[in-house]
Structure 1
């Protein structure tokens, strides 16, 4: 690695050293070697091409999948003094950007894959010196990935046209199969693969059965004062949840593809700039957001895959501060997922079923959530992470095989045509007009569940649906799935996890340990000044400084620019632009 690398890192970005595998990745890029870097969200992937872009001759072309993400990254790059631009369909200064590119006045040029794969763009690239191709969200190149984008497949021919330009692919979400496909599709040798691990230790994982969803989400919001994302499965659900959760007193917005583009853009911009807003969104929201201070991500239903879950939860805590990821699921989520699998191409169905099975294992486990998640990505984590609901709460795992057989028997003897509520009434012996009329009170399954076993019925139903032992028909009635026979014949067992009863708790209940010293007046004064500077500059507050930088200021109280420059995250450009304003606040405290 060139001797000027660390001084440049300190001068431009304000960091005294590299984190994790950054040094390995940057070293390979500066050696002009092709590389695939698999790094968790928040590990500093963008620095792996931004730093070489500053140090190498020519312009680094960054291929990124979403315009909003490009504009976020553009703001961050310009804030530290990097000469950067975007070339997108919404930019009004395309002529100026092309002229800057040809004149060698850009370090970074962000483009979408659709533009990058065009012949006109290749002609443009021939008119200037290139330093590097950086392919962000590289899992989009793989059909095995959960966000496949066909235009990513056209990037290899483009890069092959410039064989002497090194290439760097970056992703946070790729299992072993997807990694191998990325290497092949982008022409990178296996020795160029660098995997830093998938663990996000600052995120606390929790998964709960859905009961009163609005109340469950409100509890998460009240427990976590910072910005948050609630993922819903439909457009209508995002709007209903935003309306309901506004009653918590927090500003809320909805985001989905069906909104008027101007409203959608404003909602996203308001969220990015906010320090406490909750946005209720479909999964389309998030990949284009480079917001580091999201304190929680909640799922109002089952994600599409464990890879999607990992990526979506990874939008929390990118700044490294404690954050929460809480999923609320229902048995019907798995039923709908199986129905969707039946509608895709036959060759894709085995892979989709495997993904759903992995989600089921994560939901159903009574052990460490993080262990299940990281094992899916090929790691060998410890059995107890100490930062998920199961490791912290000691759930009660019970053998519920006998209760499961009773439930299945009741479904069978009532004709596989009634819903869960009615089957439960039969099992518990709750007489109704319908049970009398149908003669079901004379069945052998009538009133065979009582006492403590009653509390197992709903967990058992969820487990049976999850395992495909039960399905719902077109009219909402329960019917046998393929896994029912083994349970009824005693060839399989079933256990369920009963979460510990939770008492009514205070405002911070269910939250990760508070990262911000909210009771420190100086820290709050620094946040206020940051907010004022951000509004004046038209950028989100985190572009000025992250909360971690403000915490260091509040703790160490630097008295001069020289002392301020010693804090991590304050490069030369930001020191010149904002140093005096924050020193003024510190002196006045």
Structure 2
């Protein structure tokens, strides 16, 4: 099976995201790789898809124990045999995983770094075909989330010299990437750095005055949505969650000081949308892989831009419009400075905190600054941050920029920001005198500009990508390729006028809201309700059924046939087989109510994008996956045999047979429903029509008839036309 066929069948997508296919090709060649992709950018696909093509096991090392179960559940929903192994499991569950390893029936195994040694007797170069080190920044002291347990991973390359290692992270600057490769003993690993741009997330930074009032006004736009509020302390988490609950929000605190079982309960309720807002400590981190988080609020300022970027990246993973709101105050900076001073590598941590403070106080496009921090240059302002939506006054600062850049060049890129300003202003303090920079041509070239204004201008030059801070080299300022355009090719530089306190006081915020199409929004809400019901029936998180983005695609295109449903973005074969019929019932009914009886036969349906791969049609009008099951059944295979050969559940196979019977009545399925009281089922039919859920029928039969056979019985009765009108 080819890569794109697997992409559609198991993950429901027709095309790869940028860099994914190139990375997967290198993985299949056994190369060592260093991959940096933003949160929600598709890192997992880079090892999950190859695991289905490689012969052996893909070992995924992850520090996020709380997240492993959700990742494995999602893989299983897609029909991929996966498991996890960590200290949170009881011995029986661990033994089951070890047995699967011995039998070779598992393709992906997630394991915590502390638990790898327990697998030594079960993994070797013969059965491990790929090693993926997720959250790889945890191995580096340069990274923002160093974890000592990761340092033991250096032995992997010596124990598995012929096995490819792929290190993945959402946030790593140049120094961190180099350190990760050295720590993992893969110094020659090929690097892939994806774009860090997440244009669907609006960035908003505000002073921390009257935060609670601002938060309540902000949440008025997200009454039905999920979000995370990050706080600096556990006590703030608790008090903020309590205030939000008193205001009527479904909120809860989540931090390391809570009982483990209660913490798990909060996380589970958040994933299943029972709790809408979680207040979490920045230090602990949530580790939530939830695609429909619509907003992230930082009640306090994070300690560095890497952490901020990773945390806001938990919003809008489905690609839909989302918001990131950051509050900052001087008190936050003081507290964070204390943390940094008491940490390892304090000089670097303090420098990164200063850069975070500069981001919060920026006068230029915040997205450009964010991307420049990760060495990515954005030519134009984003138009989707608070600075762009409240444009400051700009002036032609080309000469000022040339003076600053020229000084950096003449100082041979050996000066910090403060020393650069002192030299530009012609200071004669001890640091300048000892540096020997009084003799350069630009010494004193900017004495007419105040120290504070020079600081703002240089920060803006950094934000625009004309300078960068080398944190691994004593925070010295370095020229970038873009700076050459200003120094030697007369490129114009526009800088924001430094505002006064009065300007800040008069500044008004813009909160334009895009209104969705009412009809599409109505169907989207119906589909969301159905998703919640199915998720409740299956005891799964709603987004594991379908993401918000997939539901929006359904609401926009309103599929009416199996093939149209299969073309929806995010619908793979497994989910098509499990949920296609019930979601199609809703979209058909919706169109019929909107456009009248038989509208589904005549109405024009939005055509799929030309980029999408069209499914091959067959004469039956049923999907290819349904007909594959039917043909095997006609040839004498049992339901169990078909399920095993196709890696599907028996319930799914029964649903295929039901679809065929409902349309043609040419498959012998009565034996599967002999024990079901069809008269009782007929009486319950109205309930099913009203709720689109089989759960009430299942409960009416006291749970003695499984969902698969109930669905089949309904299909048989529909095919025989004996249901009474509801």
Q: TM-score higher than 0.5 here?
A: yes
CA distance in 1, matches of 2:285, 2:350: 25
The alignment partner of 1:530 has SS state of helix
Higher mean alpha-carbon deviation, 29-38 vs 274-283, is at 274-283
| Cα distance in 1 for residues equivalent to 2:258 and 2:393 | 44
Question: What residue number does 1:100 align with?
Answer: 100
Task: Give the 3 Å change call, closer, same or farther, for CA 519–285 of structure 1 in structure 2.
Answer: farther
The answer to whether the Cα contact below 8 Å between 2:178 and 2:187 also exists between their aligned partners in 1 is no
Q: Which runs of 5+ in 2 are unaligned?
A: 396-451, 460-496, 591-726
Residues 168 and 367 of structure 1, relative CA distance in 2, 3 Å threshold: same
> Aligned runs of 1:250-261 on 2, under 5 Å?
250-261=249-260
1:394 lines up with 2:391 in the alignment = yes
**Whole-angstrom distance in 2 between the partners of 1:59 and 1:150:** 26
What per-residue deviation string (whole Å, max 9, x for no partner) do you get for residues 8-65 of structure 1?
Answer: 1111111111011111111111111111110011111111111001111011110011
Work out whether residues 394 and 500 of structure 1, in 8 Å CA contact, stay in contact via their aligned partners in 2. no
Q: 1:72 aligns with which of 64, 70, 75?
A: 70
Q: Which residue of 1 aligns with 2:266?
A: 267
Determine the structure 2 residue equivalent to 1:172.
170
Give the aligned partner of residue 349 of structure 1.
346
> 1:289 matched to which residue of 2?
288
Tell me the secondary structure at the aligned position of residue 141 of structure 2: coil
Contact 1:140–1:149 (CA under 8 A) maintained in structure 2: yes
Looking at structure 2, the residues matched to 519 and 11 of structure 1 have their Cα atoms a distance apart, in angstroms, of 27
SS of the residue aligned with 1:37?
A: strand
Structure 2 partner of 1:312: 311
8 Å contact kept, 2:128–2:163: yes
Aligned residue runs from structure 1 range 5-154, under 5 A: 5-92=3-90, 93-116=93-116, 118=117, 120-126=118-124, 129-154=127-152
- Structure 2 CA distance, aligned partners of 1:339 and 1:516? 49
- 1:367-395 Cα offsets, whole Å, 9 max, x none, are 11111111111121234110100001124
SS of structure 2 residue aligned to 1:153: helix
CA-based RMSD: 2.5
The residue that corresponds to 1:443 in the other structure is: none
Which secondary structure does the structure 2 equivalent of 1:568 belong to? Answer: coil
C-alpha spacing 1:190/1:128, structure 2 compared with 1 (3 Å): closer
Output one character per residue of 1:247-301: Cα deviation in whole Å (capped at 9) or x when no partner.
4422111111111222111111111111770111102554521001111111111
User: 1:335: which partner in 2?
Assistant: 334
Please give the residue correspondences for 1:449-468 in structure 2 after superposition, counting only pairs within 5 Å. none
- 8 A contact 1:516–1:551 mirrored in 2: no
Q: Following the alignment from structure 2 to structure 1, what is the Cα–Cα distance between the partners of residues 387 and 282? A: 26
Alignment-derived partner of residue 277 in structure 1: 276
Partners of 1:395 and 1:500 within 8 A in 2:
no
Partner of 1:572: 573
8 Å CA contact 1:517, 1:551 repeated in 2:
no
1:135-534 correspondence to structure 2 within 5 Å = 135-190=133-188, 192-225=190-223, 226-274=225-273, 277-284=276-283, 286-345=285-344, 348-395=345-392, 496=500, 498-499=503-504, 501=506, 510=511, 513=514, 520-534=521-535
- Secondary structure, in 3 states, of the residue corresponding to 1:125? coil
3-state SS, counterpart of residue 90 of structure 1: coil
In 2: Cα distance, 1:365 partner to 1:284 partner: 24
Partner of 2:550: 549
Which segments of 5 or more consecutive residues in structure 1 lack a partner in the other structure? 399-458, 467-492
After superposition, the Cα gap between the structure-2 partners of 1:101 and 1:284, relative to the gap in structure 1 and judged at 3 Å, is: farther
Question: SS state of the match for residue 168, structure 2?
Answer: strand
User: 1:415 matched to which residue of 2?
Assistant: none
SS at match of 1:62: strand
Cα deviation for residue 239 of structure 1 reads 0.9
Deviations 1:175-219 (A, max 9, x none): 111011111112334451100121111111111111111111112
Match of 2:677 in 1: none
Q: Is the 8 A contact 2:269 2:275 kept in 1?
A: no
Distance 1:516 1:175 in 2: 41
Q: Distance in 2 between matches of 1:66 and 1:343?
A: 25
**Aligned mates of 1:269, 1:324 — CA distance in 2:** 23
Match of 2:83, SS state, is strand
* CA offsets 1:321-360 (integer angstroms, 9 cap, x no match): 1111111111111222223333335xx2220121012112
> In structure 1, what is the Cα distance between the partners aligned to 2:360 and 2:41?
26
Query: Do 2:252 and 2:275's aligned partners in 1 also have CA atoms closer than 8 Å?
Result: no
Distance in 1 separating the partners of 2:266 and 2:512:
25
- The answer to whether the 8 Å contact 1:223/1:511 transfers is no
Which one is further off, 34-43 or 275-284? 275-284
Match of 1:560 in 2: 561
Could you tell me whether the CA contact under 8 Å between 1:54 and 1:107 is conserved in 2?
Answer: yes
Distance in 1, matches of 2:564 and 2:113, equals 43
1:123 partner SS? coil
Determine the structure 1 residue equivalent to 2:474.
none
Out of 562-571 and 181-190, give the one that drifted further: 181-190
